[in-house]
Structure 1
Amino acid sequence: MSRILDHPILGSLDSRERISFRFDGVTYEAYKNETIAAALLANGIRKLRVHEDSGTPRGIYCNIGHCLECRVTVNNQKNVRACLTIVEKDMIVESGKRHPNIVRGMVEKQ
């Protein structure tokens, strides 16, 4: 994927520190002060989680923190918004998983 190489406010990418992070067990590269969402998009990742009821894929929708579609697990903390969270060196990010449905005290098979 591509990034803006020279931004009028953020400056040139060449001057920014590169860091690594993991998403679903794979190591990716990000730039310091970049959001998780931006880093994932730049690395070609579109699916961040699945819908809790239907299991359909979800990704970045509003990218300003209102819709909650980009929720991921970060260093074992669930429901973190990828569009508002700055990626950190060696951060472990996991896609949101579909939770089992509980009906009348029984767990349905997915």
Structure 2
Amino acid sequence: MTGRFVRLAETGRAELTIHVDGAPIRALAGDTLMVALLTAGTHLRASEFGDGRRAGFCLMGACQDCWVWTEDGERLRACSTQPVDGMRISTRQPEATWPNLA
């Protein structure tokens, strides 16, 4: 798969692995989740309002377009959250069950 982002510099940072929808992807220390996901693929998440794919918009945490979720249902902004080795992310919104209602 060809990523939407292409890393041109800073390739010497420590490597870590996160799991996105169950599949491992490589990230570098200091990346954001958005950088890791868009370097590995072409989109961040599926739209909750239709069949479209979302790739972020403002890149600064204001537009609400880059939400991803932990496997526990916690929402994270991909544009401002740094990955942690072993982190498990879902690109699909979990079912709206308590306590995930928000």
TM over 0.5: yes
1:54, distance to aligned residue in structure 2 (A): 2.8
TM-score by length of structure 1 reads 0.71
Gaps of 5+ in 2: 97-102
Judging by fraction of residues, say which structure has more strand: 1
Contact kept in structure 2, 1:49 and 1:72, CA below 8 Å? yes
Counterpart residue identity of residue 92, structure 1: R
**Percent of aligned pairs with the same amino acid:** 25
- 2:28 aligned with 1:31: yes
1:98, distance to aligned residue in structure 2 (A): 7.3
Aligned residues: 92
Counterpart residue identity of residue 69, structure 1: D
User: Tell me, what secondary structure is at the counterpart of 1:96?
Assistant: coil
When structure 1 is superposed on structure 2, of 69-78 and 25-34 the one drifting more is 69-78
| CA-based RMSD | 2.1
Distance 1:30 1:46 in 2: 15
Which structure 2 residues correspond to residues 4-83 of structure 1 after superposition, within 5 A?
Answer: 4-5=8-9, 12-14=10-12, 16-43=13-40, 45-83=41-79
Distance 2:22 2:84 in 1: 16
Distance 2:49 2:71 in 1: 24
Distance 1:70 1:46 in 2: 13
Which structure is larger by alpha-carbon Rg, 1 or 2? Answer: 1
1:33, distance to aligned residue in structure 2 (A): 1.4
TM-score by length of structure 2 reads 0.76
Which consecutive aligned stretches of 4+ in structure 1 deviate over 3 angstroms post-superposition? none
Contact kept in structure 1, 2:66 and 2:79, CA below 8 Å? yes
Gaps of 5+ in 1: 6-11, 101-110
User: Which residue in 2 is equivalent to 1:96?
Assistant: 92
